[in-house]
Amino acid sequence: MPPKYNWSCHRCNASNAAGTSQCSACGFPASVTGIEIVQIEASDKPSRSGPEVAPISEKVGEFLSGSAWLFFPEVLVAAGLLLATPIWAVRLLMDGHGAVALGLISISAAGFAVAWFAWQKQSKGLMYLAILVVLLGGWLGFSVTPAAK
């Protein structure tokens, strides 16, 4: 029994007039059960035999290709700063520079978070930003801390 109202097709979202029992665009029936809708949607999806997905090693290689090697020294410095941050922050706290220690940890954590997000999104621009944020945290720690006498 066709609906007595204008309706939208469950398959293609085409608008159909009241009194029609099939979609005018794709022929999908107006009155179907939920199970039938799920079965049709599953059969409409492309099969897994489509194009193969590249392994993660190829994605990493593509991400690091190009001009990424230009930032290799900065990456090493940023990684060193991230590894040294906890010890450095404790030392700053012991020397009475709590605000600098908190700033160092906060900026380094923000840089690490941006780097993690950039890695997930495979974004070189965000990765460069993360490196700069970590380097900024290191600069803060060096510039505000008074020199040893």
Hey, which bits of the chain come out as E strands? 7-8, 15-16
- Residue with tokens 């621009």, as numbered in its chain: 125
CA atoms of 111 and 109, how far apart (whole Å): 5
- Contacts of residue 85, defined as CB under 8 A and 6 or more positions apart, other chains included, come to 104, 105, 108, 137
CA distances to 6, 21, 47, 104, 117 from 137, in Å: 62, 67, 49, 5, 18
Q: What 3-state DSSP class applies to 111?
A: helix
* pLDDT of 54: 54
pLDDT at residue 52, rounded to an integer: 56
pLDDT computed for residue 149 by the predictor: 46
- Residue 108 burial by CB count (10 A; 0-12/13-18/19+): exposed, middle or buried? buried
| pLDDT, tens digit, 9 for 90 and up, residues 60-100 | 566 555 555 556 676 777 778 788 888 888 888 888 888 88
Ranges under pLDDT 50 in the chain: 50, 149
**How far apart (Å, rounded) are the C-alpha atoms in residues 56 and 62?**
10
